[in-house]
């Protein structure tokens, strides 16, 4: 991770095919395309790889989450349960629809805790959105049972976990809907892009229309298309989709490299008794994009993170004080900072963050370090990195 490390002739060939036609927009201009429909090509490849009936390409992972929620009817005043450890896009997408993000604790999986989700459900809850942070998943079996018993939508945010699986089903395809990101630093990239996958034909139809101003895409005259409901512009371009066409063909190759590099690092760290690895739920397979582990204490994690940087072990992240990924630094959410007025339903429904207790999340995230797994490392570089990590951590214990 990320896929841009391996950009080459395959990506260039796909992009040049689009440039040769001069048609950069995914819709219309059929006579000029010379048979090139890269967004459609990528949607078919993605649906096949995800073992899903449908895929809808969009402009970003944030757009994918927004569209997935909208396609399932989530709107003003509805509550969506999300984890305390995620990217800000999770609550941005919910708020964009006038819905209310409800934060719930994570556990040693670094993802949504099922018991915390159960406690957070109210009569306004419409969806549960586990976020498969750093390449691994929540206990989807438990979350699906909760959603089924309460008639809730299970939306997987698999933006960081493409290529992983749960009970043999690709992540993103286990729930009612799945969202992916193909931005520049993801396992496979379009430069910018995202996708919604689902087995529900109604959700797919809604996502198709909603992501393109409500166009129904019936007929061959774009200007004459009907608009059965309101939509917005979340389209992907053909240039971005073209890059994705090349990248998705290489996904299994990328995952294999990540697994190899991950395994070397993990086997080295397993020699340190004080290092404990994140829990992967039974039946789950990571995509090996990050190696996440816990130190005995917050103090030790902070010292270890600093020492690894000093030892030139780059791309290791301490999320506890991270501006973008953990609730402690989300003052724009907790203090309700917005350019325009937030809807009253949202203001009334947001948690009072002066009273919330996320200490159960804190006990895990404060002790966690997640190290990015790069595709471009040589085998020698991986072994040298492993030796540095072990020596650095042992020196602090």
Q: Which residue has the tokens 């600093």?
A: 306
C-alpha to C-alpha distance for 244 and 322, rounded to whole angstroms: 29
How many other CB atoms are there within 10 angstroms of residue 370's CB atom? 22
Contacts of residue 205, defined as CB under 8 A and 6 or more positions apart, other chains included, come to none
Q: Which residue has the tokens 């609730």?
A: 327
C-alpha to C-alpha distance for 158 and 139, rounded to whole angstroms: 13
Q: What angle do CA 27, 33, 38 make, to 5 degrees?
A: 60
| Residue 182: alpha-carbon gap to chain centroid | 9
Element (H, E) at 170: strand 169-170
Active-site hit among 186, 259, 341, 388: 186
C-alpha to C-alpha distance for 172 and 51, rounded to whole angstroms: 10
Q: What angle do CA 180, 184, 171 make, to 5 degrees?
A: 25
Q: Is the distance from CB of 301 to CB of 369 less than 8 angstroms?
A: yes
C-alpha to C-alpha distance for 166 and 157, rounded to whole angstroms: 14
Within the chain, where are the H helices?
A: 9-21, 38-49, 61-71, 89-96, 114-120, 140-150, 201-210, 238-248, 251-269, 298-310, 331-334, 344-349, 359-365, 379-396
What does residue 371 show for φ and ψ, rounded to 5 degrees?
Answer: -110, 125
186 given a catalytic annotation: yes
CA count, 13 A, side-chain hemisphere, 144? 13
Instruction: Please list the active-site residues.
Output: 186
């Amino acid at each position: 991770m990320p896929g841009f490390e391996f950009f080459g002739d395959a990506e260039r060939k796909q992009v040049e095919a689009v440039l040769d036609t001069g048609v950069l927009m995914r819709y219309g201009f059929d006579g000029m395309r010379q048979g090139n429909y890269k967004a459609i090509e990528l949607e078919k490849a993605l649906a096949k790889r995800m073992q899903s009936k449908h895929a809808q390409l969009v402009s970003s992972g944030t757009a994918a989450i927004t569209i997935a929620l909208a396609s399932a009817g989530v709107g003003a005043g509805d509550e969506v349960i999300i984890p305390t450890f995620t990217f800000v896009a999770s609550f941005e997408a919910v708020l964009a629809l006038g819905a209310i993000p409800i934060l719930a604790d994570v556990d040693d999986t670094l993802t949504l805790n099922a018991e915390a989700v159960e406690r957070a459900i109210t009569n306004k809850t419409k969806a549960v959105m586990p976020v498969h942070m750093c390449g691994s998943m929540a206990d989807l079996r438990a979350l699906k049972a909760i959603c089924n018993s309460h008639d809730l939508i299970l939306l997987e945010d698999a933006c960081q976990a493409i290529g992983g699986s749960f009970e043999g089903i690709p992540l993103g395809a286990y729930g009612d809907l799945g969202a992916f990101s193909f931005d520049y630093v993801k396992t496979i990239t379009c430069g910018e892009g995202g996708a919604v996958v689902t087995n529900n034909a109604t959700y797919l139809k809604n996502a198709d229309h909603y992501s393109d101003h409500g166009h129904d895409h019936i007929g061959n005259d774009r200007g004459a298309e009907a608009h059965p409901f309101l939509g917005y512009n979340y389209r992907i371009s053909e240039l971005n989709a073209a890059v994705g066409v090349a990248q998705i063909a290489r996904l299994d190759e990328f995952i294999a490299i990540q697994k190899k590099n991950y395994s070397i690092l993990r086997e080295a760290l397993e020699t340190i008794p004080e290092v404990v690895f994140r829990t992967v739920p039974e039946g789950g397979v990571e995509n090996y994009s990050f190696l996440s582990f816990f130190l005995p204490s917050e103090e030790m994690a902070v010292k270890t993170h600093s020492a690894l940087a000093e030892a030139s072990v780059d791309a290791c992240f301490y999320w506890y004080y991270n501006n973008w990924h953990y609730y402690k630094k989300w003052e724009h959410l907790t203090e309700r900072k917005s350019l325009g007025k937030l809807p009253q339903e949202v203001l009334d429904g947001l948690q009072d963050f002066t009273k919330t207790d996320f200490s159960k999340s804190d006990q895990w995230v404060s002790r966690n370090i997640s190290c990015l797994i790069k595709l471009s490392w040589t085998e020698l570089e991986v072994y040298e990195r492993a030796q540095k990590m072990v020596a650095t951590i042992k020196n602090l214990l």
